[in-house]
Structure 1
Amino acid sequence: MIHTIVAPIIVFAVIVLVHEFGHFIMAKLTGMKVEEFAIGFGPKICSVRYGETLYSLRILPLGGFNRIMGMDNQEYTDKRAFVNRPVWQKLLVVSAGAAFNILLAFAIFTGVIWHEGKAVFPDYPVIGEVISDTPAERAGLEAGDRILYIGKSKIDKWTDIHGALANAGNTVLEVQISRAGVRHTVTVIPANRDGRTILGITAYVQVTPVSFTESLHMAADRCVAVIVGVGKGLMYIISGSPQGEVAGPIGIARIAGNVADTGILPLLLFIAILSLNLGVMNLLPIPLLDGGVIVLTVLEGLYGRKLPEKTLFYIQMAGIFILGGFFIYAMASDITALFR
C-alpha cells in the first residue's frame, strides 16, 4: 500500500525536478535572472533567498517549477529577462528541460547496466526461474534443471521447447531433466493460456560484467530504442491503430506502485523510461509544450519581433485544445484499464 502511494510521488518528483533543474541551470549559465526555483507546488513550507533567487519548498511534493524573468512574454527593461535575450540563449533554456530528462535516463541506464552486467541468452535448455502456481511448480521442476526430453522430443536448445509443447495443453507429458548431474523424470500437465501452451518456466540468462565504457554505449543504444518506441507509439495513436496505447496519471501511478514492489532497480529503470518519454513528448511542436515554445522562438527570431498578441492567443488556444484532448484520451485509457 505504501509503495502504491509513495512510488508515484517519487517518480513524478524526480522527473519533473530534473526537467525544471535543466531550465534553471541553463538560465543561470546564460545570464538570465531566475526569480524562484521551487521544489513542489502549492503553499510554501519554507524558503531561503540566495543571491537574487528565492529557493522554496512547497507542500505538494510533485516536482517543482522555475520563475525566470521574462518568460511570461511581458515587456521588461531588464536586459537579463528571457524576452530580451538572444534567440540562441532562449532556445538553450527552453530545450534544456527535455535534454536533462534524456540525460537522466542515460545516467540511470548506464549505472544499472554497469552494476548488473550484460544479460545474454545462450539458448541452453536450462530453467532460469519457475513461476509460482504453474504446472512446472506443481511438477517439482526447479531453477537450474536442464531439460533433456519433453515427451519423446529431444531438447537441445531452449527454443526447442516451444515446438515440443505445441498442441500439448492439458495432456500428461513426461519431462526428463538433469539435476546436479542426476537424471530425473517428472510428470507435467501443461496449461493453455491465451492460446499458448505453457509450463511456467523462464529461460536461463547468463550475466557477464561490462566495463564502464561498454555500459555507456549500451545505455545510448537503450535510449535510442526507447525514443524510437515513443515515436512509433505516437504514430500508432495518430493513425488510430489499436497498438497505440497511452497511460495517463492514474495509469502511471498504478504502474509505478507495481514496479516498486519488485525492487529499486526496476523502479529506477521505470523512471528512466518515463523520463525519456517526457523529454521526447515535451519537444513536440505543440503550443504550451517546450517544443511549441521553441518553434515560436525561432519564428520570432526570423520575424525580428514578437508575434502579434492575437496570433499568440490563437496559438495558445490551439495548444490547450490539443493537450486537453490528449489528456482526456489518456484518462479514458486509464479508466478503461482499471475496469479491464
Structure 2
Amino acid sequence: METAIAFILIFGSIVFFHELGHFIFAKRAGIMVREFAIGMGPKLLGYTKGETVYTIRLLPIGGYVRMAGEDLDAIELQPGYRVGVRLNAQDEVDYIVLNQKNYLPDMQFIEIEKADLMNKMFIEGYDESETHVKYSISRNAKVNEAGRESLIAPYDRQFHSKTVGQRSLAIFAGPLFNFILAFILFTVIALLRGIPVDEPVISTVVNNTPAAEAALQQGDRIIAIDGEAVGTWTELVTVIQQSPDQALSFEIDRDGQTVTTEITPDGIQSGEETIGQIGVQAPFEKSFFGSFVYGATQTYDFTVLIFTLLGNLLTGSFSIDDLSGPVGIYKATETVAQFGIFNLLNWTAMLSINLGIMNLLPLPALDGGRLLFFGFEAIRGRPIDKQREGMVHFVGIMLLMVLMIVVTWNDIQRFFF
C-alpha cells in the first residue's frame, strides 16, 4: 500500500509539473485552456475555475492540457438549425442552446441563416415572428449541447492562431518544467541533508546491517579494502556494490588508530543485477549556495547519463529488453522507498529528467515531434496540412502503445515469472 501511494505521488508530481509548464505558457500566449487533467481515463474529480476545468482521472499514467483549437471542439451552426439564444445587457448573445430540452425561459428562438462563432462572432436568422435578426456574440458566450456546456473559443484564443514561437514555447514548457522540478528536488535534498562529500568517511551506520554487525562507527575512514587503497567514497561504493555476499577485509582509520574487520555485503536486487550494500551513508556538508550548485550539477549529470543510455540504445549496446515501463518503475520505487525519503526524492528527480528527455525526442505524438512540425512550418513559411500531421501523430501514438505493451510484458516476465 505504501509503495502504491509513493508511486502515485511521484508520478502525479512529475505529471503535474509537466502539464503546469504547458498550462502557464499557453495562458501567457492567450490560448484558452479547456482542461488541466492529471491522469487518464474516466474522471474522478473535477473543479471548474474561470474557463478551465481541473480534473483528476482514474489512471495515474499521464495527464494533459487541452487547449482550444487543438482538437475537434469547434461548433458550427449550419443554416436551418433552430437554436435558443439568451442576450446580455449589451444585447450580445451570451448563451446558445442546441438541444430543445435544455432551453431556458428567457430565451429567444432563431432559425439560423448565417453564423460565425470564431472570427466575426455573429449569429443571423429569423425569430419566431419571422423577423430577420442579427446579434453579435459575446467573447465569453457558452454553448449548451445536449446538456454539456462549453465556452466558445474566438479564433484569437485558439492554439493555431498563435505564432510559431508562442506555440513552440507552450509545447516546450512541459519538458522544461520537468528539468526545473528535478533541479528543485536536488536542491531541496542538499538544503535538508547536505551536499555529499566524496571522502570514504562514514557519517551514519544503519541498524541491523552488515556495517552495524561489524561495529563500524560514525567518523570511521576506510583506508583500504582487501589490501587495495580507497581514496574516495565513489571507490568505496564501487567495490562494495561489485562484491555482494563476498567477505571483504576493511582497513579503517579510527581516531588515529588502524582497525581491521571483515564485512560481507548483503546482496540487493537492483533490476536484473545484484549489488552489494553494507548499510552506511556518505558524509555531508551544509552550504546554502552550494545546494543550488549541487541541484544544477546533478540535473546536468543525470541528463547526460540518460542521453548516453539513449545513444547506447541506438548503437545496440542497450536493448529494448533493458527498458522499463510502469511495472518496472513501480518495482524500483518499492526498492527505493525502503531507503528513506531522500532516496525517494532523488528517484523522483531522475524520473522527472527522464520524462522531460523522452518527451523531447522528435517522435510523432510526443512534444518533440510537435516541435519538429513547428520547425518545418517556420522553414516553409506555412503550416503542414492538419490532416497529414494528425495522421502522423496517430501512427506515432499507435507505435508508442505497442512499445508500451512490449515493455510492460517484459517487466511482468522479469518480476513475476
- For the aligned pair, the TM-score class normalised by the smaller chain equals 0.7 to 0.9
Distance between the aligned counterparts of 2:276 and 2:12, measured in 1?
41
The CA deviation string for residues 299-331 of structure 1, in whole angstroms up to 9 with x for no partner, is 223333332356325523542354245324432
Alignment of 1:18 with 2:17, yes or no, is yes
Alignment of 1:236 with 2:312, yes or no, is yes
Asked which structure has the greater CA Rg, the reply is 2
The 5 Å alignment of 1:49-68 reads 49-60=48-59, 64-68=63-67
Distance between the aligned counterparts of 2:236 and 2:73, measured in 1?
68
Q: Which amino acid aligns with 2:16?
A: L
Residues 271, 235 of structure 1: CA spacing in aligned structure 2 closer, same or farther, 3 A cutoff? same
Residues 181, 307 of structure 1: CA spacing in aligned structure 2 closer, same or farther, 3 A cutoff? closer
Distance between the aligned counterparts of 1:279 and 1:150, measured in 2?
40
Distance between the aligned counterparts of 1:148 and 1:306, measured in 2?
64
Give the SS at the match of 2:363.
coil
Any conservation in 2 of the 1:104–1:275 contact (CA below 8 Å)?
yes
Gaps of 5+ in 2: 75-117, 120-154, 269-274
Distance between the aligned counterparts of 1:16 and 1:199, measured in 2?
33
Alignment of 1:97 with 2:174, yes or no, is yes
Any conservation in 1 of the 2:38–2:63 contact (CA below 8 Å)?
yes
Aligned length: 326
> 1:129 aligned to 198, 201, 205, which one?
205
Residues 65, 142 of structure 1: CA spacing in aligned structure 2 closer, same or farther, 3 A cutoff? same
Distance between the aligned counterparts of 2:164 and 2:237, measured in 1?
61
Alignment of 1:4 with 2:80, yes or no, is no
Distance between the aligned counterparts of 1:3 and 1:62, measured in 2?
18
Using CA pairs under 8 Å that are at least 6 residues apart, name the structure with larger relative contact order, 1 or 2.
1
Q: Which amino acid aligns with 2:381?
A: G
* Aligned-pair CA distance for 1:184: 6.9
* Aligned-pair CA distance for 1:277: 0.6
Residues 199, 143 of structure 1: CA spacing in aligned structure 2 closer, same or farther, 3 A cutoff? farther
The CA deviation string for residues 202-254 of structure 1, in whole angstroms up to 9 with x for no partner, is 77733211123x22222111111111111111111122214873221101111
Q: Which amino acid aligns with 1:37?
A: F
Alignment of 1:304 with 2:381, yes or no, is yes
Residues 59, 192 of structure 1: CA spacing in aligned structure 2 closer, same or farther, 3 A cutoff? closer
> 2:328 aligned to 251, 256, 274, which one?
251
Any conservation in 2 of the 1:17–1:65 contact (CA below 8 Å)?
no
Q: Which amino acid aligns with 2:346?
A: L
The 5 Å alignment of 1:1-340 reads 2-60=1-59, 64-72=63-71, 77=119, 78-123=155-200, 129=205, 132=208, 134=210, 139-145=214-220, 188=262, 201=278, 205-212=282-289, 214-242=290-318, 245-308=322-385, 311-312=388-389, 314-320=391-397, 322-339=399-416
Q: Which amino acid aligns with 2:343?
A: P
Any conservation in 1 of the 2:195–2:294 contact (CA below 8 Å)?
no
Question: Normalization by structure 2: what TM-score?
Answer: 0.65
* Aligned-pair CA distance for 1:102: 0.9
Distance between the aligned counterparts of 2:237 and 2:298, measured in 1?
29
Distance between the aligned counterparts of 1:246 and 1:81, measured in 2?
38
* Aligned-pair CA distance for 1:267: 1.4
* Aligned-pair CA distance for 1:56: 3.3
Residues 61, 337 of structure 1: CA spacing in aligned structure 2 closer, same or farther, 3 A cutoff? closer
Distance between the aligned counterparts of 2:194 and 2:402, measured in 1?
42
Q: Which amino acid aligns with 2:323?
A: V
Gaps of 5+ in 1: none
Any conservation in 2 of the 1:127–1:201 contact (CA below 8 Å)?
no
Residues 142, 65 of structure 1: CA spacing in aligned structure 2 closer, same or farther, 3 A cutoff? same
Any conservation in 1 of the 2:266–2:276 contact (CA below 8 Å)?
no
Question: Normalization by structure 1: what TM-score?
Answer: 0.78
Which protein is richer in strand relative to its size? Answer: 2
Instruction: Indicate the percent of aligned positions where both proteins have the same amino acid.
Output: 34
Which protein is richer in helix relative to its size? Answer: 1
